[in-house]
Structure 1
Amino acid sequence: MVATALAEQASFIAAGASLDIDHVSHAFDIDGKALPVLDDVSITVAPGEFVALLGPSGCGKSTLLRLVAGLEPPRSGSLREDGVAITGPFPSRVVVFQDPTLFPWRKVWDNVALGLEAQGILKTQRHRVDAALELVGLSSFRNAYPHQLSGGMAQRVALARALVNDPKILVLDEPLGKLDSLTRITMQAELVSLWQRTGVTALLVTHDVEEALFLANRVIVFSDRPAKITADIAVDRPYPRHRGDAHLAELRRQILGLLGLDATW
């Protein structure tokens, strides 16, 4: 039993990539003026780590995810995956957004297959679509259309569509933000399970402090815009975690204090 657990942990750590965000600053051009969004942000993420980003709405968290995904370059600083500079999008880094954005005219299987189809390798890699659907527990819905799915199921399809590309870094931009509270709790547990089984490195933006503490190894707290790191908090609790854990409750109180919301708790 111990040997099996160690073997699983070893493969888990090896699957993800390292991520280095080094003195990154960024700004938007609005009406001919620069609007600073990120201010000298440096984060090092180990392979297979799950890191959550918390901060005030509009502070720049999602912008940082866009830079990690390679969707745009930073104004200054650098980002590296396994030591290699991030200069644009790449299949090893995939983004899951708040909205599943499934094509309504395509069945679940065909939605998941999009990435492989775009790469021109679907004909020889069809088994990867089946494996991704199995991973998220939707094999029996392979022939369903998006309108036949619940919100949680649609988001699981979006996760499968990301995982089918065998990513090393999974970029999660509030992927559970539009779900009802009960579905969200269920999906949080499923997301932890997926992360543990795939070993991918995960970077999550969320506004839910409890969600961050339930999912992540580390929680990084940002200031208001332009975002600076105000705290980098290790969540040293084993999985599965329990919401009544006194240590998590204390961390929640600390984080709410950092966000200026301690008076509400």
Structure 2
Amino acid sequence: MVTLAERSIVATAPPIVGARLDVREVDHGFVLNGEDLPVLEDVSFGVAPGEFVALLGPSGCGKSTLLRLVAGLDQPRHGHLVVDGEEVTEPDPSRVVVFQDPTLYPWRTVWRNASLGLEARGLLKQQRSRVDEALALVGLDRFAHVYPHQLSGGMAQRASLARALVNDPKLLILDEPLGKLDSLTRLAMQSELTRLWQTRGFTVLMVTHDVEEALLLSNRVIVFSDRPARLRADLVVDLPYPRHRDHPELLRLRREILGLLGLGGDW
């Protein structure tokens, strides 16, 4: 059995298979009760292949809206989202979203939930082994035939990650995937996410409201203003993995980010 310590070891030369993402001058908004509600304003940034980028900002500023645009679930009013040189116009199996809630089908086993992507694409018969491999990666191989109601919150989120990994994503889009977990489970899942990213080499774009989580997991932290969201800062986190919460540079970046979010005087 692989221990948590072994899972935290950084691969010396992890394969980089992730996609490049370019967000170019994106504006977006909605009509609410007959009035225009701007949500994103002139948002531009790039994400290199294999990079882990966290998005931080006030609640409701537009971070999750941006993730939907990157996933191809919605189209921007203005601007462009480009993945590996191709305009994003619709969802694609190479870009997979994991939400805060596991969204597992209660009538399907863990294995059948994880197999949904392959099944929808007509590939399950030829590629069944990928489901087993994904469940083993997240430590759920022994729970393949149980149902969602038999899982803890952390295990259910692992099942959601397995469902995403089955598709071999080049870009993993995470919308507060650990937000509803208890603190101890969240710490374990942070280590798990880091391990999966390091060993698989995909690109990660993650929304979180936890400043410490962003700094522990990501290469870069992008900080947004209040709605309509504009970029306030793009900070590089140049620290080795595994990271420690009391590292002086991490504490300095934490203070800087909290100041950008208007909370510097409270900490």
What one-letter code is carried by the residue in structure 2 that aligns with 1:75? R
2:59 paired with 1:57? yes
2:28 paired with 1:26? yes
Task: Identify the residue that residue 239 of structure 2 maps to in structure 1.
Answer: 237
Give unpaired runs (5+ residues) of structure 1: none
How far did residue 32 of structure 1 move? Answer: 2.2
How far did residue 170 of structure 1 move? Answer: 0.3
Which of 98, 119, 123 is residue 117 of structure 1 equivalent to? 119
Give the alignment of 1:70-85 within 5 angstroms. 70-85=72-87
Distance in 2 (alpha carbons) for counterparts of 1:190 and 1:132 = 13
Give the alignment of 1:151-166 within 5 angstroms. 151-166=153-168
Distance in 2 (alpha carbons) for counterparts of 1:5 and 1:48 = 13
How far did residue 29 of structure 1 move? Answer: 1.1
Task: Identify the residue that residue 201 of structure 2 maps to in structure 1.
Answer: 199
What is the RMSD of the two structures over their aligned residues, measured on CA atoms? Answer: 1.0
Distance in 1 (alpha carbons) for counterparts of 2:11 and 2:225 = 39
Distance in 1 (alpha carbons) for counterparts of 2:22 and 2:60 = 23
Task: Identify the residue that residue 45 of structure 1 maps to in structure 2.
Answer: 47
Distance in 2 (alpha carbons) for counterparts of 1:160 and 1:243 = 28
Distance in 1 (alpha carbons) for counterparts of 2:43 and 2:113 = 35
Distance in 2 (alpha carbons) for counterparts of 1:55 and 1:146 = 32
What one-letter code is carried by the residue in structure 1 that aligns with 2:91? P
Task: Identify the residue that residue 187 of structure 1 maps to in structure 2.
Answer: 189
Q: SS where residue 103 of structure 1 aligns? A: coil
Distance in 2 (alpha carbons) for counterparts of 1:22 and 1:105 = 41
Distance in 2 (alpha carbons) for counterparts of 1:200 and 1:34 = 36
Distance in 2 (alpha carbons) for counterparts of 1:168 and 1:23 = 23
What one-letter code is carried by the residue in structure 1 that aligns with 2:210? D
2:210 paired with 1:208? yes
Distance in 1 (alpha carbons) for counterparts of 2:37 and 2:164 = 32
Task: Identify the residue that residue 176 of structure 1 maps to in structure 2.
Answer: 178
Distance in 2 (alpha carbons) for counterparts of 1:25 and 1:255 = 24
Distance in 2 (alpha carbons) for counterparts of 1:147 and 1:245 = 39
Moved over 6 A (4+): none
Give per-residue Cα distances to partners, 1:105-162, cap 9 Å, x unaligned: 1111000000100111101110000010011111011111111111101000000000
Distance in 2 (alpha carbons) for counterparts of 1:170 and 1:243 = 25
Distance in 2 (alpha carbons) for counterparts of 1:150 and 1:199 = 28
Q: State TM-score, norm by structure 2.
A: 0.95
Greater CA drift, 226-235 or 30-39 = 30-39
Distance in 2 (alpha carbons) for counterparts of 1:253 and 1:144 = 44
Greater CA drift, 26-35 or 42-51 = 26-35
Which of 256, 262, 265 is residue 263 of structure 1 equivalent to? 265
Task: Identify the residue that residue 131 of structure 2 maps to in structure 1.
Answer: 129
How far did residue 5 of structure 1 move? Answer: 5.4
Q: Cα 1:117–1:42, aligned 2, differ >3 Å: closer, same or farther?
A: same
Distance in 2 (alpha carbons) for counterparts of 1:62 and 1:202 = 14
Q: SS where residue 43 of structure 2 aligns? A: strand
Q: SS where residue 129 of structure 1 aligns? A: helix
Task: Identify the residue that residue 222 of structure 1 maps to in structure 2.
Answer: 224
Give unpaired runs (5+ residues) of structure 2: 1-9
More helix by share: 1
Q: SS where residue 234 of structure 2 aligns? A: strand
2:98 paired with 1:96? yes
Asked if 1 retains the 8 angstrom alpha-carbon contact of 2:11 and 2:199, the reply is no
Give per-residue Cα distances to partners, 1:167-201, cap 9 Å, x unaligned: 10000000000001111011101110011111110
Q: SS where residue 224 of structure 1 aligns? A: coil
Distance in 2 (alpha carbons) for counterparts of 1:183 and 1:243 = 17
Q: SS where residue 161 of structure 1 aligns? A: helix
What one-letter code is carried by the residue in structure 2 that aligns with 1:191? L
Task: Tell me the percent identity.
Answer: 69
How far did residue 30 of structure 1 move? Answer: 1.3
Asked if 1 retains the 8 angstrom alpha-carbon contact of 2:11 and 2:198, the reply is no
Task: Identify the residue that residue 6 of structure 2 maps to in structure 1.
Answer: none
